[in-house]
């Protein structure tokens, strides 16, 4: 399969077939067009995750659109591929959080002493994302600027390092203080918009 994402016009055509309904192969064509690309994207951004989690997250993101195409509104100016990448990243984070909670419950039940947190994990603070089939949340995400989408994707993965955000935003040559201010403004704006929509940041 090609490693190139479908052109916006081609992606839009596939999506319209889903939206219209009645096409018996629309869902399978949609999955074929995006599944491998989403898995490759997740593997590149989460190199330490196992393949099962990557495939599950990619499939969940596709199913959310396949089963309810209205979660994506092309009139909001967001590219379908970008929406799917954000959804898959969010679904992967949810899978990680659920697995962590399952392990913690199992270990507690069996009276196994948990190791001390080394201070680098934010798992205890993790909260499950609002569902991407929430129309209010989907509308907010669809209206994000390109910079906001980049920051949002990284936030959904649990990334906190300034240098990673700065590199993704093309701020690598700016002073650290300027990078931090710029990133904080974007994060605060995203959190406020999601909060107003009833989502969680």
Residue 93 lies in a domain: no
> Does 150 have pLDDT greater than 70?
yes
- Give the mean model confidence (pLDDT) for residues 182-197: 86
Q: What is the pLDDT of residue 155?
A: 85
- Give the mean model confidence (pLDDT) for residues 17-34: 90
- Give the mean model confidence (pLDDT) for residues 170-195: 87
Round to whole Å and give the CA distance between 58 and 37: 9
- Of 11-15, 78-82, 92-96, 131-135, which one has max mean pLDDT? 11-15
Residue 89 lies in a domain: no
Residue 46 lies in a domain: no
pLDDT band for position 38 (cuts 50, 70, 90): very high
Q: How many domains does the chain have?
A: 1
- Of 34-43, 73-82, 146-155, which one has max mean pLDDT? 34-43
Residue 162 lies in a domain: yes
> Does 124 have pLDDT greater than 90?
no
Q: What is the pLDDT of residue 13?
A: 92
Residue 158 lies in a domain: yes
Please give the mean pLDDT across all residues of the chain: 79
CA atoms within 13 A on the CB side of 171: 20
- Give the mean model confidence (pLDDT) for residues 60-78: 86
Residue 173 lies in a domain: yes
Residue 184 lies in a domain: yes
Q: What is the CA radius of gyration of the chain?
A: 18
The domain of 165 spans 144-201
Residue 99 lies in a domain: no
More confident call, 90 vs 99: 90
Tally Cβ neighbours within 10 Å of residue 196. 10
Neighbour-count burial for 159-192, b at 16+ CB within 10 Å, e otherwise:
eeeeeebbebbebeeeeeeebeebbeebbeebee
| pLDDT > 90 in the chain, percent | 18
> Does 140 have pLDDT greater than 90?
no
């Amino acid at each position: 399969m090609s490693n190139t994402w479908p052109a916006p016009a081609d992606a839009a055509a596939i999506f319209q077939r889903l939206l219209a309904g009645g096409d018996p192969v629309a869902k399978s064509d949609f999955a074929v067009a995006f599944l491998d690309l989403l898995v490759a994207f997740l593997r590149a951004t989460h190199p330490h995750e196992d393949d099962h989690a990557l495939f599950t997250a990619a499939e969940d993101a596709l199913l959310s659109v396949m089963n309810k195409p209205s979660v994506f509104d092309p009139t909001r100016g967001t590219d379908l591929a970008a929406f799917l990448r954000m959804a898959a990243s969010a679904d992967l984070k949810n899978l990680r959080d659920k697995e962590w909670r399952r392990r913690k419950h199992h270990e507690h039940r069996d009276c196994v002493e948990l190791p001390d947190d080394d201070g680098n994990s934010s798992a205890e603070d993790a909260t499950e994302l609002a569902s991407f089939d929430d129309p209010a949340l989907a509308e907010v995400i669809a209206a994000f600027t390109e910079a906001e989408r980049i920051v949002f994707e990284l936030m959904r993965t649990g990334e906190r390092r300034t240098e990673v955000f700065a590199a993704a935003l093309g701020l690598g040559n700016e002073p650290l203080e300027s990078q931090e201010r710029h990133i904080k403004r974007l994060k605060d704006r995203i959190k406020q918009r999601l909060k107003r929509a009833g989502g969680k940041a």
